[in-house]
Amino acid sequence: MLKTTCFDIWRQEIETPRIVTLCKELDDKLGGGIAAGFITEFCGGPGCGKTQMCFQLCINVQFPKCIGGLQSKAIYLDTNQDFSPTRILELAVSTEKRFQRLLGKNSFDPSSKCDFTANSILAGINYIYCENYLMLQTAVENIPEMVRKDKDIKLIVIDSFSFPIRVIEEVAERTGITYNLLTILQHLTMEYKIVVVITNELTTRFNDNEWKICPALGDSHAHKINHRIIVSKCNEQKYYMALVEKSNMMPQVAIPFVIKHNGIRGIS
Amino acid sequence: MSANPITGGFNTFSGSKYNANQIRPPVQYAKPGPFTKSKLLQDCPEADIRVLKDAAAKVVAQPVSALLQLSLSANWSHITTGCVALDRCLRGGIVTRGITEICGASGVGKTQLLLQLSLTVQLPRELGGLGKAVAFICTEDTFPSKRLFQLAKVFEKRFPDQKINYMGNIYIEHVLEADDLLKCVGVRLAKLMESLRIGLIVIDSVAAIFRTYNNYIKRARDMRKLANYLLYYTNKYQCAVICVNQVATVSDAAKETPCLGLAWAHLGRTRLKLSKVPKEVKINEDLFTVRRFEIVYSPETPNEVAEFMITGGGVVDVPI
* Beta-bridge partner residues of B172: B12, B136
- Across the A/B interface, how many CB contacts are shorter than 8 Å? 127
For residue B278, name the pLDDT band (cuts at 50, 70, 90): very high
- Which amino acid belongs to residue B59? V
Give chain A's domain count: 1
B182 touches A: beta carbon within 8 Å: no
Mean pLDDT of B281-310: 92
Ranges of H-type helices in A16-168: 24-29, 50-60, 85-105, 118-123, 133-149
A56, A82, A121: best to mutate for the B interface, most B CBs within 10 A? A82
Residue in chain A closest to B98 (alpha carbons) equals A81
Asked if B61 lies within 8 A of A131 by C-beta distance, the reply is: no
Residue in chain A closest to B297 (alpha carbons) equals A47
**Among the partner residues B61, B98, B269, nearest to A138 by beta-carbon distance:** B61
**Among the partner residues B35, B224, B297, nearest to A47 by beta-carbon distance:** B297
- pLDDT beyond 90 at B223: yes
- pLDDT beyond 60 at B170: yes
CA dihedral A227, A177, A187, B43 (to 10 degrees): 170
Can you tell me whether residue B133 is helix, strand or coil? strand
- pLDDT beyond 70 at B132: yes
**Among the partner residues B62, B68, B269, nearest to A82 by beta-carbon distance:** B269
Asked if B53 lies within 8 A of A141 by C-beta distance, the reply is: yes
| Residue B66 pLDDT | 61
**Which region among A48-52, A79-83, B284-288 has the lowest average model confidence (pLDDT)?**
B284-288
| Residue A242 pLDDT | 95
CA distance B120 to B134: 10
B71 touches A: beta carbon within 8 Å: yes
Asked if B68 lies within 8 A of A46 by C-beta distance, the reply is: no
| Residue A91 pLDDT | 95
- Contacts from B18-25 at CB under 8 Å and sequence distance 24+? B18/B188, B18/B191, B18/B192, B18/B195, B20/B183, B20/B187, B20/B188, B20/B191, B23/B187, B23/B188, B23/B190, B23/B191, B24/B187, B25/B186, B25/B187, B25/B190, B25/B229
**Which region among A8-17, A169-178, B213-222, B306-315 has the lowest average model confidence (pLDDT)?**
A8-17
| Residue A57 pLDDT | 97
- pLDDT beyond 70 at A88: yes
Phi (first) and psi of residue A237, to 5 degrees:
-85, -5
- Which amino acid belongs to residue A123? A
Vertex B68: Cα angle to B64 and B71 (nearest 5): 90
**Among the partner residues A51, A127, A173, nearest to B67 by beta-carbon distance:** A127
Distance from CA of A16 to the nearest CA of B (A): 27
A203 touches B: beta carbon within 8 Å: yes
Distance from CA of A14 to the nearest CA of B (A): 32
| Residue A268 pLDDT | 78
**Which region among A96-110, A143-157, B274-288 has the lowest average model confidence (pLDDT)?**
A96-110
Asked if residue A208 is part of any domain, the answer here is yes
* B43 Cβ contact partners less than 8 Å away, ≥ 6 residues apart: none
For residue A3, name the pLDDT band (cuts at 50, 70, 90): confident
Mean pLDDT of B269-282: 94
B70 touches A: beta carbon within 8 Å: yes
A183 touches B: beta carbon within 8 Å: no
Domain coverage including residue A128: 38-104+113-266
pLDDT greater at residue A14 or residue A133: A133
Fold of B78-317: Rossmann fold (3.40.50)
A77, A129, A200: best to mutate for the B interface, most B CBs within 10 A? A129
Mean pLDDT of B103-129: 95
**Among the partner residues B60, B221, B265, nearest to A169 by beta-carbon distance:** B221
Domain boundaries, chain B: 37-68, 78-317
| Residue A43 pLDDT | 96
Mean pLDDT of B195-216: 93
**Among the partner residues A90, A122, A134, nearest to B67 by beta-carbon distance:** A122
Asked if A123 lies within 8 A of B65 by C-beta distance, the reply is: yes
Measured between beta carbons, the chain B residues lying within 8 angstroms of A259 are 302
Distance from CA of B68 to the nearest CA of A (A): 7
CA atoms within 13 A on the CB side of A179: 10
pLDDT greater at residue A112 or residue B241: B241
- pLDDT beyond 80 at A203: yes
- pLDDT beyond 60 at B185: yes
| Residue B22 pLDDT | 35
Asked if residue A24 is part of any domain, the answer here is no
Nearest to B270 by CA among A56, A162, A45, A46: A46
Per the prediction, chain A carries an average pLDDT of 90
Asked if A46 lies within 8 A of B97 by C-beta distance, the reply is: no
Can you tell me whether residue B150 is helix, strand or coil? helix
- pLDDT beyond 80 at B16: no
| Residue A41 pLDDT | 97
Mean pLDDT of B222-226: 95
pLDDT greater at residue A109 or residue B78: B78
Asked if A204 lies within 8 A of B261 by C-beta distance, the reply is: yes
- pLDDT beyond 90 at B75: no
Mean pLDDT of B157-181: 93
| Residue A113 pLDDT | 62
Measured between beta carbons, the chain A residues lying within 8 angstroms of B253 are none
**Among the partner residues B63, B231, B297, nearest to A127 by beta-carbon distance:** B63
- pLDDT beyond 70 at A251: yes
| Residue B31 pLDDT | 43
pLDDT greater at residue B132 or residue B69: B132
- pLDDT beyond 80 at B130: yes
| Residue B49 pLDDT | 73
Asked if residue A193 is part of any domain, the answer here is yes
For residue B24, name the pLDDT band (cuts at 50, 70, 90): very low
| Residue B285 pLDDT | 86
Can you tell me whether residue B219 is helix, strand or coil? helix
**Among the partner residues B60, B262, B300, nearest to A135 by beta-carbon distance:** B60
Global pTM value: 0.88
| Residue B1 pLDDT | 34
A59, A117, A131, A232: best to mutate for the B interface, most B CBs within 10 A? A131
A17-64 pLDDT, tens per residue? 999 999 999 999 988 999 999 999 999 999 999 999 999 999 999 999
Cβ atoms of residues B15 and B8 within 8 Å: no
- Which amino acid belongs to residue A71? Q
Q: Which of residues 1-40 of A touch B (CB under 8 A)?
A: none
| Residue B30 pLDDT | 41
